[in-house]
Amino acid sequence: MRKISLIILLLVICSQFVSAQNCSQFINSINGKKFRYANQNTQGNTIGTMVCNTTKKDASTIAAHIELFDKTSKSMGSGDSEILCTGTSIKVDMKTFIPASSLKQLGSMQMTGDTKYLTYPMNLKAGQKLEDGALTINVANNGQQMGQVLLNINNRKVEKAEKISTKAGSFDCFKITNDVSLNIKMMGMSLPFQIKIIEWFAPKLGRFAKSETYGKDGKLVATTMLEAIN
């Protein structure tokens, strides 16, 4: 009996060590990195950029500061999010998934709310269904409540493993489809959007190397590509 108990204890210790090791490798690989993305229209023209600066917060958390720029390099606003590592999965702050065009409409308004995460298991594989996510953000202007942004991401599915090449290099990714429902409620008005996002998620980066946004009619609306990592 003591031998069995010892074996179980050793297995638990080993699993905790592997989880910590997985997180350490992941956190250290993206700590202090600057990710630059190009937002492109359907003609492939760059209509803006997104810059994400990462900083190690603790042994399992990366803080990310994201800033959006228009095609003239004028800032359209910024925000902060987090990426967590549990040892078996990567959890990405859902605020990252609010389309840049929607953030532009909100301008310099302040957005607050509980942090919610989308989960990406470290053992992603084709055909895998992933957990849904829901997020509510309160929007204020100079301290006055103006409305809410409601974000729901459903029907998340891993389509296949695929290598993606961008100006930043080649990345081993998983093509993941997401049905996104976005509702902006402002001053008694409601602006609902139904879109589909296809992302090529790169586990080593803890983020996508490429994403495509499709409208309700199934037509491509915009593409976001990783341009550089510094």
Q: Identify whether the C-beta of residue 212 lies closer than 8 Å to the C-beta of residue 195.
A: no
67 Cβ contact list (under 8 Å, min separation 6): 50, 51, 75, 77, 78
* Tokens linked to 185: 């409620």
Q: Identify whether the C-beta of residue 79 lies closer than 8 Å to the C-beta of residue 86.
A: no
Quote the pLDDT of residue 118.
Answer: 93
- The tens place of each residue's pLDDT in the chain, 230 residues long, gives 444 433 333 323 233 333 344 788 889 989 999 999 999 999 999 999 999 999 999 999 999 998 889 899 998 877 788 999 998 999 998 877 766 555 555 656 666 667 789 999 999 999 999 999 998 888 777 777 778 888 899 999 999 999 999 999 999 999 999 999 988 888 788 888 899 999 999 998 889 999 999 998 999 999 999 999 99
In the CATH hierarchy, which fold is given to the domain comprising 30-229?
YmcC-like fold (2.40.360)
Alpha helix ranges (H) inside 51-158: 100-106
Quote the pLDDT of residue 100.
Answer: 56
Q: Is 189 exposed, middle or buried (0-12, 13-18, 19+ CB in 10 A)?
A: exposed
The strand ranges marked E within 27-168 are 34-40, 46-58, 61-70, 75-85, 89-93, 110-112, 117-121, 133-141, 144-166
Annotated domain spans of the chain: 30-229
The single-letter code of the amino acid at 56 is K
